Amino acid sequence: MKVIEVARLLGVTADTVRFYTRIKILNPTKSKANGYREYSDKDVNRLRFVLSARQLGFSVEDIQEILAHADKKKSPCPTVRRLIDQRLHETERQLRETLKLRDRMQQAVLEWSQKPDKAPTGHMLCHLIEEFTAEDRL
């Protein structure tokens, strides 16, 4: 299969297929007749795996590590368990930070709805942000 055929089959862009080829996750052969890359069923299965892993939050580096185990005919399951645990902790941390940001934004909306508009001065650009930030530091 050619790049565009793999892309259509899996519902991704040709650039996605090329990216994973460039970083050596996919290893197509070159056609002797025309020099085009030819992707095998194995390549399609690997890319399908990659897309599933990405949907679970695994990074490209994680996926390369997992595939390295599989390519050596070793079970990647212990690595997968360790990595998903790390990704879960990172996601929970990011969620907490996002919720804090949402709370700050809600507070800003509430406070700013009661403040007047002011033109910039030589020392201030937007008093809403600058006063809110200053209050936050106290």
Contact 79, 66 (CB under 8 A): yes
* Cα 9 to the center of its chain, rounded Å: 22
| pLDDT value of position 131 | 86
The residue that leads in pLDDT, 122 or 11, is: 11
Higher pLDDT: 122 or 82? It is 82
**CATH dotted code for 1-55:** 1.10.1660.10
Q: What is the location of CATH 1.10.1660.10 in the chain?
A: 1-55
Instruction: Render pLDDT for 83-111 as a digit per residue (tens, 0 to 9).
Output: 999 999 999 999 999 999 999 999 999 99
Closest CA to 124 of 39, 132, 16: 132
